[in-house]
């Protein structure tokens, strides 16, 4: 029988735990604080940012969104981040991506102090992540791991194929799967014969943004399927994995929506609390 990996349920339980953690911090006169930098007006980003605002309020995290014109100069943006880096009351900083083309995203991300890097994108934290020396990892990756842990899906000794090589999901997830003793293959747009890889995989994670890329004949019996894709087609939201086709062949599968998505935002909030505690403990 196929297990539906319900991200909403896991996110709700994690939210309750984070609320308790915030209460503990409040007793020490600590108010976990996240600053979000938004540049320009992107409708998709606004929906995501609103979800962050609402969840932060629900958990008890102070969330401050700083909105800037899309014409802001790179220097102005860097100066603001440096100011936040120096403010001891700020525990986490994140910059909503994408940024306007005239701004160097890598330079902006690298300006955020590693100890306040809420997204886990800073080069220092990414490097430490591959060394298994940090708790700071990208939120979507943390969400996937939380989902696997909740449903007791052990990746040790398993063959895992990750489709997508971004610094947000693909590469950092590979580091965490390796840390958990999986054998990992990263596939991407230049990969030949993708089906040859996925047909041998015990676990397939897809994050390429191509609707229904993964079909029934591309997976092995009883594979675990994690869908990170978010695609709109004919007014419908769907993932990279053909859910209906693959459902009864998989041992476990995430729905879209309702799988990994709900865990991404709550995992970001969890990271803010980790940053706050790290700063307290020095």
Determine the Cα–Cα distance for residues 80 and 111; give it in Å rounded to an integer. 10
Considering only CA atoms, give the Rg of the chain: 19
Q: Which H or E run contains 121?
A: none
**What SS3 state is found at 24?**
helix
Backbone torsions φ then ψ of 90, nearest 5 degrees: -95, 120
Which of 180, 142, 141 lies closest to 160, judged by CA?
180
Q: Alpha helices, DSSP H only, in 98-138?
A: 105-111, 123-130
Token reading at 151: 């449903």
Looking at the annotation, which residues are catalytic?
52, 96, 119
The residue count of the chain comes to 282
């Amino acid at each position: 029988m196929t297990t539906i990996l319900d991200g909403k349920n896991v996110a709700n339980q994690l939210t309750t735990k984070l609320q308790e953690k915030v209460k503990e911090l409040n007793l020490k006169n600590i108010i976990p604080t996240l600053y979000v930098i938004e540049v320009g007006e992107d409708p998709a980003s606004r929906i995501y940012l609103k979800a962050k605002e609402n969840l932060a309020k629900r958990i008890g995290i102070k969330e401050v969104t700083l909105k800037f014109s899309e014409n802001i100069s790179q220097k102005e943006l860097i100066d603001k981040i440096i100011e936040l880096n120096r403010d001891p009351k700020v525990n986490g900083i994140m910059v909503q991506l994408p940024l306007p083309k005239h701004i160097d995203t890598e330079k902006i991300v690298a300006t955020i102090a590693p100890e306040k890097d809420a997204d886990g994108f800073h080069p220092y934290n990414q490097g430490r992540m591959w060394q298994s020396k940090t708790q700071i990892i990208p939120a979507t990756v943390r969400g996937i791991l939380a989902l696997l842990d909740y449903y007791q899906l052990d990746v040790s000794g398993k063959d895992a194929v990750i489709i997508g090589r971004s610094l947000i999901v693909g590469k950092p997830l590979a580091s965490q799967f390796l840390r958990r003793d999986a054998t990992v293959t990263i596939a991407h747009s230049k990969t030949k014969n993708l089906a040859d890889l996925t047909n041998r995989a015990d676990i397939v994670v897809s994050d390429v943004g191509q609707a229904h890329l993964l079909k029934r004949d591309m997976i092995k019996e009883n594979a675990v399927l994690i869908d990170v894709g978010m695609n709109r087609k004919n007014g419908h939201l769907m993932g990279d994995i053909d859910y209906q086709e693959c459902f009864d062949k998989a041992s476990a599968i995430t729905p879209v929506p309702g799988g990994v998505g709900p865990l991404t935002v709550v995992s970001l909030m969890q990271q803010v609390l980790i940053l706050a505690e790290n700063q307290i403990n020095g």
